[in-house]
Amino acid sequence: MKLALITGASKGIGKAIAEELASRKCNLLLVARSAEGLKAVASELQLRYAIEVEYLPLDLSAKGSPEKLFQWCELLKKEIDVLVNNAGYGLSGSFTDYTPDENSNLIQLNIISLVRITQLFLPALRNQPQSHILNIASTAAYQAVPYLSLYAASKSFVLNFSRGLSQELRGSNVSVTCVSPGSTDTDFVIRAKISHKGLKAARKFNMQPGEVANIAVQAMLDKKPEKIVGFVNKIGAFLAWLMPKNMVEKTAMKIYE
């Protein structure tokens, strides 16, 4: 039976991916900040799908946390087949509204921890007959988004890092997939402090986490390097590429200012 490690697994897309993999009889290692949330998810999935689930409450925006995660897996003597780098968050508003520490924490979680976790677990993934890395980016990765600038830039990094790594590992036993959801019915908008105008725009196109998770996992199993979730989001990414950047950025700014 396969074993998957999922970050940000206590709610939202991470929780939905955990359930999707559990339904495919995959054992799970779950990581998130909330001990209560993880315990509830673990108990639910163990009972419903008769799988093994271990969990670790850990803030991956803290320096040294990827190493703690890796050491935990070593103590459990668990070697994973699937790595899902899902943990991440955004900050909306002017870049200068946030302290240097707040902005650094976002970069630490969305970029540095993702890269470090991938590097720590890649040797073990290479030891498996077949293994997968699934990185969760965003449709914001396809353009600059004023008033969501740092988040969009961090997800652009995730997308391009994933595509590059996918090519480096091409022909090996490790596949790398980057999935970019658009607006999804999760708590992302609360933590990111999205404006009323942004919330109103998001609700028009919201997808459910379960739907996103199903598409993401299937793309991973199909070894697709990149997947934009939802037809409308695909059109949006294409238009962002086709149209003048200044026009795209001004349109986005009107939504998030």
Cβ-based neighbours of 35, under 8 Å, separated by 6 or more:
57
CA distance 75 to 162: 28
Dihedral pair phi/psi, residue 71, rounded to 5°: -65, -40
* Active site annotation includes 98: no
Cα angle 59-61-64, degrees, rounded to a multiple of 5: 85
CB 132 within 8 A of CB 114: no
DSSP 220-249: HHTT-SEEE-SHHHHHHHHHHHHS-HHHHH
CA distance 24 to 9: 17
The region that residue 12 occupies, defined by phi over 0 for left and psi between -120 and 50 for alpha, beta otherwise, is left
Q: Which residue out of 142, 147, 151, 256 is catalytically annotated?
A: 151
Residues marked active site are found at: 151
